Amino acid sequence: MATKPEVIDYQAFTAKDTPKAERNDLGVGDIWSNSVKCLACGDTIRSCNRHDFVWCTCKNIAVDGGSWYLKRTGGIQGYEELSEAYNDVGETDE
């Protein structure tokens, strides 16, 4: 059986207030926490890297995308969106 490669969690080296320029240098996108709560089994799952595809225990919902994009698969029995952006996302320079 193949083992899943170790996933590097971008939250290990960035805080929610990390500026965009620093995130760009580190290869981190605008999403601080890419996560959901499954309403069927109660699991809270989070994608920790761009290609970290994670299912809940009951296989109702999966997340993917890490800090770069929000991908949801399944969700037939529902889920609660828990994702958060970095603090400076949506701010404009004036």
pLDDT tens-place values along the chain, 94 residues long: 655 667 889 999 999 999 999 999 999 999 999 999 999 999 999 999 998 999 999 999 999 999 999 999 998 999 999 999 999 998 765 5
Kindly state whether residue 1 falls inside one of the protein's structural domains.
Answer: no
Kindly state whether residue 4 falls inside one of the protein's structural domains.
Answer: no
Kindly state whether residue 23 falls inside one of the protein's structural domains.
Answer: yes
Q: What is the 3-state secondary structure (H, E, C) of the chain?
A: CCCCCCCCCHHHCCCCCCCHHHHHHHCCCCEEEEEEEECCCCCEEEECCCCCCEECCCCCEEEECCCCCCEEEECCCCEEECCEECCCCCCCCC
**What integer pLDDT is reported at residue 7 of this predicted model?**
80
Kindly state whether residue 5 falls inside one of the protein's structural domains.
Answer: no
- Domain residues for the domain of 41 are 13-83
**What integer pLDDT is reported at residue 6 of this predicted model?**
78
Kindly state whether residue 77 falls inside one of the protein's structural domains.
Answer: yes
Kindly state whether residue 88 falls inside one of the protein's structural domains.
Answer: no
* Total structural domains within the chain: 1
Kindly state whether residue 8 falls inside one of the protein's structural domains.
Answer: no
**What integer pLDDT is reported at residue 92 of this predicted model?**
66
